[in-house]
Structure 1
Amino acid sequence: MRIYFYLLLILPLISFGQEKFIKGQIYADSLDTYQINIINITQEIGQVSTPEGKYNIRAKVGDSILFTSLQHKTYTINVEDSNLRTNTSIFLEMQINELEEVTILQYDLTGNLSKDIKQVETDFIDQRQFGFRVPRKLAKVERELRAAQSSSLDFLIMSLNGEMKKIKQRIEIANIKTDKNRLLRTIPSSLITTDLNIPEIYVEDFAYYCAEDKHTVSIMDKEDPLALIDELKLKAIAYISIKNLKE
């Protein structure tokens, strides 16, 4: 019985000791500016290199390890036993984006804008004349999310290194700020201070408090001023209570 107890204590230590890593040095330009993402695709774990280019990630024989960054060509190795026993050096090439050949001079232009513009045929259709709305311009953080989601590799990398979570948090904060500003444009500040008894110095904070509540935002989306005012009266009671508790 005592031997069995000792085995229970020793086995986890043996397993931990058998855990292996692939490590070494990455050689590439601009390492001090761009970190390299190191992804164990097989085990779905990830790390980033140090500013000096050193890396260290858990691996076993047969795993596929991917090295990638925005500025370098992607490099992949299949882990062999020798990679786990000695340091493995990785050499990355810079990513060079070449433009496709394009025709610059399509017309016989003189260089005089007033003359040349008459030669250029243009067809412009304003989609609003057909009843279509102008597409909403995506915010920078939303474009980053779309770009990441369009690439399964980028999505995996950003999910593992935590960037995807940060982008979603930034989008959520941006949406709350947008709803806050929309509320302040819909409801006059005088109504908030006079009818809802919110001190003027807290008007913007109160609007932010309301914008964080999805139920309040959904009422604002219905564009029913009376229903929104009724909702804000309830929010004002709760807000004043919270501020009194804090103060």
Structure 2
Amino acid sequence: MIKHLLIFILLFVNFTCIAQNSFELSGRVIAQTRDTLEVSVLNLSRETGVVTNEKGDFKIDVSIGENLYFSSIQFEPLEVEVTSTILEDPNYMVFLFPKINELQEVLLSSVDLIGIEETDIKNIPLQPYLSAANLGLPQATKPLPTIEERRIYTASSGPLDLLINTLNGELKKLRKLNEWAKLDRLVVQGEQAMAVHYFEEYCGVPEAYISDFIYFCAQDDRYKPLLKQQDKLKLFEFFEEKGPAYKEFRQW
């Protein structure tokens, strides 16, 4: 009996060690738009991440059972659990779908227009503009919650939900996803603040690495306040200052 117990313990320990081994996962992000450059690949379990190259290829350290999160501004996010099948696949591919932005409904008027501006203006019936303000209704002053914030609210809306999602780690994972989403939005703001040639000429950063450079800059506590101030001159000086540090980080 003792012999069998020892064998079971040894097998269990061996299996646990194998499961915890770290591997470098190589893969490629595929999308219909073929615009797979700089898709964020995050290891939620280790809180580390990389970005894809111009072909959509990526390499990241993982272990079996860890969760990978693929996100980009133009694609729907995707979460994948690492399995032995994924690690054994030499041509592992991840398929992402573009985000669909719903357009407002367009109503076609039945009013006949003759092409004369003064006459047409008189023939078009006008309706009073209605808003919460002119109807005397209370107005919302807070911005609408993001998708991530709504998921956190749902996971903690009741005592039982809060307890279950805290114990199974779901709430912690949702909060981490919310942090990454906020970081993504800050990076996009930084990219839109300056022209591409600015990063290349003044910071020494190639166009393919601009997003990665801004992720690097976002780790500095000065970055977020500079974005809020909307002072392009100070932001210009900040990026230029971070250029040499980023090139040293990249070992260029």
TM range (shorter): 0.3 to 0.5
Q: Which has the larger radius of gyration?
A: 1
TM-score by length of 2: 0.43
